[in-house]
Amino acid sequence: MSNKTFKIAVLIKQVPIPSKMRATKEGLMDRSVASMMNPYCKHALEAALELKDTIGEEKTEIWVISMGPPNFEQSLREALSMGADHAILLSDRKLAGSDTYATAKALGTLIQKLGVNFNIVFAGLQTIDGDTAHVGPQVAERLGIPHVSYVEKIDFKGDHVVVRRILEGGNITYKVPLPALLTITNTANKPRGPRLKYAIRAKNEEIKVYSVDDIGLTAEEVGSAGSPTLVYRVKNVTHDRPPCQFMEGETVEDKVNMLAEKLRELVEASKAEAVEA
Amino acid sequence: MSTNEKKQRNEEEYEIVDRSKQGVEGVFIWGQMMPNNEPHDVTFELLGEGRKIADKLNTKLTAVLIGYNVKKWAQELIYRGADRVIVVDHEKLKTFAVLPYTQVIYDIIQKEKPEVFLFGATTFGRELAPRVAARVHTGLSADCTMFDVGDYVNRRKKLKFENVLYMVRPSFGESKLATILCPLNFPQMASARPGIFIPLKRDETRKGEIIDFTPEFSEKDFVVDVLDVNVGGGEQIDLKGAKIIVSGGRGVGEKGFDMLREFVKVLREKGYKAELGASRGAVEAGYISSKHQVGQTGTTVRPDVYIAIGISGAIQHLAGMKESKYIIAINKDHEAPIFSVATFGIVGDYQDVVPIMIEKVRKGEMVFPVTQ
Ligand SMILES: Cc1cc2nc3c(=O)[nH]c(=O)nc-3n(C[C@H](O)[C@H](O)[C@H](O)COP(=O)(O)OP(=O)(O)OC[C@H]3O[C@@H](n4cnc5c(N)ncnc54)[C@H](O)[C@@H]3O)c2cc1C
Ligand SMILES: Nc1ncnc2c1ncn2[C@@H]1O[C@H](COP(=O)(O)O)[C@@H](O)[C@H]1O
């Protein structure tokens, strides 16, 4: 075991590139398309990396943890290239069809199984595919630790953190003892890119893969069997907004002139309507 | 016999499970209070929709009201549709904190065994509901925009469930609507997107029961301290009443906001009701106060003309402005999502575009289609 004293876990999910997002015949997310690290998870990882910068690289260790198919390795390696130290993937066919309850059960059990006493766990506020914001709070409940969602500012104070979270029309600041779980919004920070000094490690580091058996759960407890909710049906939504008209012209002035013209037409049209009425 | 008839014949032999007769009863909503000690609008929306669901299930609608000095609101919730209001009034519950609130709702669920429990999908609701669902070991459907009650047939188990809650939510990047069911566990839990459901008309003849509830707390429910709550106050910004909103994002920068203020000033001089808006990106960067923020966690607006300048158009921003009559977007990235809702788009640097617009407005060469 290493003597790094401060241990951080970051929950990371890989999601389809938005323009490629589509449903399978069964109404589940098609995971075979081009994908990327969930944007909110990048902000969670950045929060972890900033904390590592604050506490000191030599004292801090970041574990990135993900549950999903083998190709999720892509995002885990990306996280390593940004400065994470260890990567864990929970991957098993039995996990297919897990809802947020079952996902949190699996992730929470995995974290306990790892036997690392994490001082802090970061999660993205939400994913852009599931878009529930459930998994973070539900993992915290499993682990029996406090959590705060919608976090956009973190001050590290040793045995506790002071965090500011978004609230409709303002914000609220909490003092939270550690260990705790925080879910991070996209306004919290600007995620860094990959760093050259981690490139080789990111390529070579072994990603430890766990199965459902490995963490001591059964097939009934995870996947669709272990999920209280089910997707009953999926329907298409149609949008009725006409596409954007882009202003054209050689110069900026031309474009603005064209806009002025378009607006004038609208004003004239509404005047004509008013006369008719 | 056609396959359809066969199917139906088979289903007639299925065992029927009536969700409303499994020892669970009633539709519950969380009556969310805000830091100013008034209910969030979504509370009334949930009462409106909850009333409909309760009527379909032929059961009662209960609101759970948690906070400090909140009892005075209980009667109001009855006027707005509740049959029962459970009041948990405690000094330590003054400001929202997820641990004690989870414990309170958990205790109430254990005692009352509701059939359905709805939350507003506000920032508090989306922090609280998943923790509650995990503690009571049930499912949760996020950010729903429609509800109904209906049957669910499980062919594998040969069971027919009656009176289950259909929870409909946008999914796959808002391109699809998914109907989620939670047939085996209770309560069937969902969070409901604010601003979607219709409140009932306030009716002072409505009668209901007000019940006090005293939760059992332990020390571990209060390990998190509230240090500061910061909501609005001060100078009032009338975004809702504006006919034209000039709105700036992170792409505008601090100095750029001076230019946008000038734009608003010139529009006002020309007699337009104009106001300055902003994205959260700009607010968080410290360019402007949060009172100007438009979007999911800011103000929802619907002006005649919305001018988005240096705003990428994140889904949370669009949620608060996409119903504007005309949207003009100025962004140097032609792929910015804001263009997906814009009427007119200019791809370019706002520092070049906006000064020309201001000049044209000043000279009367640019006019805007606004209603009186
Ligand atoms: C729970 C939650 C709630 C939220 N609520 C809200 C909300 O209510 N309202 C809200 O707005 N956001 C909200 N957000 C944040 C939202 O997701 C985005 O992060 C935010 O809207 C981004 O702000 P922005 O578009 O100004 O910044 P960015 O995304 O950084 O975009 C800046 C844009 O400016 C353009 N640009 C840069 N320079 C120039 C230039 N010189 N000329 C022209 N264009 C330029 C860029 O191309 C880019 O498109 C919320 C987020 C969460 C997680
Ligand atoms: N399969 C997963 N593996 C790892 N982390 C996850 C997974 N699903 C969700 N999370 C975490 O929970 C957050 C919220 O996800 P969601 O509840 O799906 O919106 C994500 O940003 C991740 O941090």
Residue ranges per structural domain of chain B: 13-222, 244-362
Domain B244-362: give its CATH code.
3.40.50.1220
**Statement: residue A109 has pLDDT above 70:** yes
**Statement: residue B175 has pLDDT above 80:** no
Domain residue limits at A16: 6-221
**Statement: residue B90 has pLDDT above 90:** yes
Whole-angstrom distance, CA of residue B79 vs CA of residue B83: 9
The pLDDT of A26-53, averaged and rounded, is 91
pLDDT tens digit string along B292-342? 999 988 888 999 999 999 999 998 999 899 999 999 999 999 999 999 999
In this predicted structure, what is the pLDDT of residue B368? 97
**Range B13-222 classified under CATH 3.40.50.300:** no
Q: Name the pLDDT band for A172 (thresholds 50, 70, 90).
A: very high
Q: Does A192 reside within a domain?
A: yes
In CATH terms, are B13-222 and B244-362 the same topology?
Answer: yes
Contact B20, B59 (CB under 8 A): yes
Q: CB-based contact (8 Å) between A234 and chain B?
A: yes
**Statement: residue A192 has pLDDT above 50:** yes
In this structure, which long-range contacts are made by residues A53-59, counting pairs with CB atoms below 8 Å and at least 24 apart in sequence? A54/A156, A55/A6, A55/A156, A58/A4, A59/A4, A59/A5, A59/A6
Q: CB-based contact (8 Å) between B236 and chain A?
A: no
Counting one residue from chain A and one from chain B, the pairs whose CB atoms sit within 8 A come to 243
B266 membership: H or E segment, kind and range = helix B253-269
Instruction: Indicate if A39 and A149 belong to the same structural domain.
Output: yes
Strands A245-246 and B344-347, bridge-based pairing: parallel
- Of B166, B104, B161, B167, give the one whose Cα is nearest residue B136: B104
Q: CB-based contact (8 Å) between B348 and chain A?
A: yes
In this predicted structure, what is the pLDDT of residue B1? 47
Task: Specify the number of domains making up chain A.
Answer: 2
Q: Name the pLDDT band for B235 (thresholds 50, 70, 90).
A: low
Question: A-chain residues within 8 Å CB-CB of B172?
Answer: 21-23, 29, 129, 234
In this predicted structure, what is the pLDDT of residue A239? 65
Instruction: Indicate if A68 and A155 belong to the same structural domain.
Output: yes
Contact B312, B336 (CB under 8 A): yes
Nearest-by-CA chain A residue for B316: A186
- Secondary structure of chain B: what % helix, strand, coil (to 5)? 35, 30, 40
In this predicted structure, what is the pLDDT of residue B91? 95
Question: Ligand 1, residues A46, A182, A187, A252: which to mutate, most atoms within 8 A of Cβ?
Answer: A187
The pLDDT of B253-282, averaged and rounded, is 95
**Statement: residue A1 has pLDDT above 50:** no
pLDDT tens digit string along B22-67? 689 999 999 999 999 999 999 999 999 999 999 999 999 999 999 9
Instruction: Indicate if A15 and A142 belong to the same structural domain.
Output: yes
* Contacts of residue A232, Cβ cutoff 8 Å, sequence gap at least 6: B152, B166, B178, B179, B180, B181
Q: Does A141 reside within a domain?
A: yes
The pLDDT of A103-121, averaged and rounded, is 97
What CATH number did the domain enclosing A213 receive?
3.40.50.620
- Of A3, A215, A251, A205, give the one whose Cα is nearest residue A94: A215
**Statement: residue A81 has pLDDT above 60:** yes
- Chain B closest-CA separation from residue A232 CA (Å): 5
Taking all residues of chain B, what is their mean pLDDT, rounded to a whole number? 93
In this predicted structure, what is the pLDDT of residue B21? 60
In this predicted structure, what is the pLDDT of residue A271? 84
The pLDDT of B257-264, averaged and rounded, is 97
The pLDDT of A102-114, averaged and rounded, is 98
Within 114-133 of B, beta carbons closer than 8 Å to A belong to 122-124, 126-127, 129-131, 133
Q: Does A235 reside within a domain?
A: no
Residue holding tokens 């509901």?
B129
In this predicted structure, what is the pLDDT of residue B256? 94
Q: Name the pLDDT band for B155 (thresholds 50, 70, 90).
A: confident
Question: Ligand 2, residues A13, A38, A71, A210: which to mutate, most atoms within 8 A of Cβ?
Answer: A13
Instruction: Indicate if A64 and A157 belong to the same structural domain.
Output: yes
**Statement: residue A3 has pLDDT above 90:** no
Q: CB-based contact (8 Å) between B135 and chain A?
A: yes
Instruction: Indicate if A105 and A217 belong to the same structural domain.
Output: yes
**Which residues lie across from A106 on neighbouring strands?**
none
Indicate if ligand 2 lies below 6 Å from the C-beta of A150: no
> What is the sign, positive or negative, of the torsion defined by CA atoms of A97, A99, A101, A106?
positive
The pLDDT of A262-270, averaged and rounded, is 93
In this predicted structure, what is the pLDDT of residue A20? 80
- Radius of gyration in angstroms for the set of CA atoms belonging to chain B, rounded to a whole number: 25
Whole-angstrom distance, CA of residue B82 vs CA of residue A76: 49
Q: What is the 3-state secondary structure (H, E, C) of chain A?
A: CCCCCEEEEEECCEEECHHHCCECCCCCECCCCCEEECHHHHHHHHHHHHHHHHHCHHHEEEEEEEECCHHHHHHHHHHHHHCCCEEEEECCHHHCCCCHHHHHHHHHHHHHHHCCCCCEEEEECCCCCCCCCCHHHHHHHHHCCCEEEEEEEEEECCCEEEEEEEECCEEEEEEEECCEEEEECCCCCCCCCCCHHHHHHHHHCCCEEECCCCCCCCHHHCCCCCCCCEEEEEEECCCCCCCCEECCCCCHHHHHHHHHHHHHHHHHHHHHHHHHC
Strands A230-236 and B176-181, bridge-based pairing: antiparallel
pLDDT tens digit string along B14-23? 888 776 566 8
The pLDDT of B144-171, averaged and rounded, is 91
